[in-house]
Chain A
Amino acid sequence: MNFWQRLGALDRRIIYTVVGLAVALPLLLKIIMPIRVSEPVLNAYKTIDELPAGSVVMISIDYDAASEPELQPMLIAVLRHCFKKDLKVILTGHWALGLPLGEMALNKVAAEYNKKYGVDYVNLGYRPGYSALMVGIGREIRDFFATDYRGVPLDSFPFMRTVHNYNQIAVLVGFEAGATGDAWVQFAGARFGQKIILGATGVVAPDLYPYLQARQICGLISGLQGAAEYETLVKSIGTATLGMPTQSILHGLIILFIIIGNISYFITRRRKK
């Protein structure tokens, strides 16, 4: 076995160790790299930024802990933007196991901006059957959410008294780790003309680009990079910005893996011939 063959057949545990170290070291060194803001994220930011104070933003938690590192910083950055602009926030979600993540982010950011539950924001919780719910909210939100997640009637919250359907929701921001984003666009967007911004994991984001080009969504925040871009725009460094140098190094490492793997493959193949 020559050098290239041996390199091509490297034990996977060595690769795992290299990957592990490549993640841990940059985090320990706390490197920060400049973030370039892309157009889809800038458009998302502008859509929220242009809303007059008091407008209602509905945020949907359509992810769970499996996508938390990507979408949680995005949610926190968007919440900071909303509360900074004095917008009212309604939180809901369609991924049962992810809803508490929304509550955690709300509690954290609301405290930073002195926002009060029921006055500036509410958490509706979750209902099964999202397609029916998305159409049903177009008529009356109370048919599905008569109360908030703790069982308190919606009408006991002052700003919710005037909210009945999409007509009173200025923008809907969906954080997506699956197909729920498509449903928001097709049900709430197309049927009721709801303005929509989507934040998505890297896995889902490429599938949402056709909506972006067709202007069915106003903006798209994709992956950890998207979250870091939004953090840059709202001028609050969070875990996304802190994670991007590590992300960069890992991308470089994987590209290097692909290159070494291919060199080894071509040299070995030529020798065989």
Chain B
Amino acid sequence: MIVNIIGTWIAAGLTIAILSFLYKDNPLYKFAEHLYVGVSAGFGVIYVWAFDLKPMLIDRFIENQGVERWILLVPAVLGLLMLSRWFGKIGYLSRLPLAFTVGIGAGLGITASIQGFLLPQIQATLLPLTTINNIILVVGVITTILYFYFSRDFKGPFKYLLELGIIFIMVSFGASFGYTVMARISLLIGRIFFLLSDWLRII
């Protein structure tokens, strides 16, 4: 379809505009960058409408009866108060909805961190030291924690424990770095694939 062909050309043009930054910052790149910010902001507004205001407030207000209907005014008002930041003088009112979300977030965070991370992760570290891998894992977890908790200079055997911690941390950062390189390359492959396949149709 002709519309899709035009779309592909627009997409290819914008891809090249962004890639042109590699040579140097230029008006084409700036154009694409500003367009991105503008369109993304517009997307945000449509999302709030399509996935929040309409299904969660408006539709429910129409469908619900009695108390269930009117109680929806509470989150609606809280949401509107969040926007009081737009108007300097009454901006302090946004602290109320903020307090509501922060309170719930903190409460959920505490229980989830303990039940969903701390306990299972500690349990998974309590391993019988019967294999080399188990020993490395246990020593690695302990020395890494020690390194972060006692980051001042020590002398004697304790110093070696912390140095062991650094070894684990560096190996781990190296692995993360290798994976990050991998990820960034994959993204580039994706874009070049688009240019060669969808746009130029040579593969």
Residues of A within 8 A of B (CB): 13, 16, 19-20, 23-24, 27-28, 30, 66-70, 96-97, 125-129, 131-132, 135, 144-147, 149, 151, 182-183, 185-187, 189-191, 201-203, 205-207, 210, 213-216, 222-225, 239, 242-243, 246-247, 250-251, 254
Contact = CB atoms under 8 A, between A and B. Distances in A.
Nearest to B141: A210
Contacts of A149: 50-51
Nearest to A26: B189
Nearest to A20: B192
A247 B108 contact: no
Contacts of B186: 69-70, 202, 223-224, 243, 247
B189 A69 contact: yes
A213 B124 contact: yes
A97 B51 CA distance: 12
A132 B52 CA distance: 14
Interface in B39-78: 40, 43-44, 47-48, 50-52, 54-56, 59-60
B99 interface: no
Contacts of B187: 66-67, 69-70
B120 A202 contact: no
Nearest to A247: B185
Nearest to A216: B120
B36 to A, nearest CB: 10
Nearest to B115: A190
Contacts of B48: 128
27 contacts: A20-B192, A23-B185, A24-B196, A96-B43, A97-B40, A127-B51, A128-B48, A128-B52, A131-B112, A132-B108, A135-B108, A146-B55, A147-B55, A186-B113, A186-B116, A187-B112, A187-B116, A189-B116, A191-B115, A203-B180, A203-B183, A206-B176, A223-B179, A243-B190, A247-B185, A247-B186, A250-B185
A239 B186 CA distance: 10
B52 A202 contact: no
A27 B55 contact: no
B108 A131 contact: yes
A66 B184 CA distance: 10
A246 B189 contact: yes
B203 interface: yes
Q: Is chain A's interface secondary structure helix, strand, loop, or mixed overall? A: helix
Contacts of A242: 193
Contacts of B40: 97
A239 B115 contact: no
Contacts of B31: none
A224 B182 contact: yes
Nearest to B23: A13
A28 B196 contact: yes
B116 A69 contact: no
Contact of A24 (B104, B182, B192): B192
Given A125-B50, A251-B182, 13 more contacts: A20-B192, A27-B189, A69-B193, A147-B55, A186-B112, A190-B116, A202-B181, A206-B179, A214-B120, A223-B182, A246-B189, A250-B188, A251-B185
Given A23-B192, A27-B193, A222-B179, A127 B52 contact: yes
A248 to B, nearest CB: 10
Given A96-B43, A96-B44, A251-B181, A23 B189 contact: yes
Interface in B167-203: 172, 175-176, 179-193, 196, 202-203
Contact of A126 (B51, B111, B116, B203): B51
A66 B190 CA distance: 10
Contact of A243 (B109, B175, B189): B189
B115 to A, nearest CB: 5
Contacts of B50: 125, 149
B179 A243 contact: no
Contacts of A30: 203
